[in-house]
Copies of this chain bind each other. A is one copy, B any other.
Amino acid sequence: MASVTTTIASIDTAELASRLRLGVTRLARKLRQQAEPGITPSLLSALSTIERVGPLTIGDLCAVEQVQPPTMTRLVASLVETGLVERSVDPDDRRVAWVRVTPSGARSLAQTRKRKEAYLAKRLRRLEPDRLAVLEEAAAILDELVEGES
């Protein structure tokens, strides 16, 4: 166990928002640059959501991925074309399309996962345990930040 002690009295949310935005934007950019040829970060993010959440509709995917329908239509089309994902029409409501990962998609996800996070993990390994612990908590908070309502 480790203790991380911080002054909380004077946290300026506007200032924090500014710094957090810059940090997040830059890291996202850096991560984008690590994309493997063939699968881009957006495709990857969609694919891993499809795997994690299980069969879901295009609309569900849009909500989770925080993207507008036309964007997701294109991402899914690309994933289907490369055989990583399978589409099927809902028999009860033929407007709805369900999407699920194919065995090939699951394999591809598993295979590439290590490599995909290599860049980040490599840098994380250089951090002191205290700081890793901070990021660990921060990751969860970031998720909440985005999840809570749109």
Contact = CB atoms under 8 A, between A and B. Distances in A.
Interface of A: 1-9, 11, 13-14, 16-31, 33, 41, 45, 48, 65-67, 113-114, 116-117, 120-121, 123-127, 129-143, 145-146, 148
B20 A139 contact: yes
A13 B125 contact: yes
Contacts of A29: 65-67
Contacts of A65: 26, 29
A4 B1 contact: no
Contacts of A11: 129, 132-133, 136
Contacts of A5: 1-4
B2 A135 contact: no
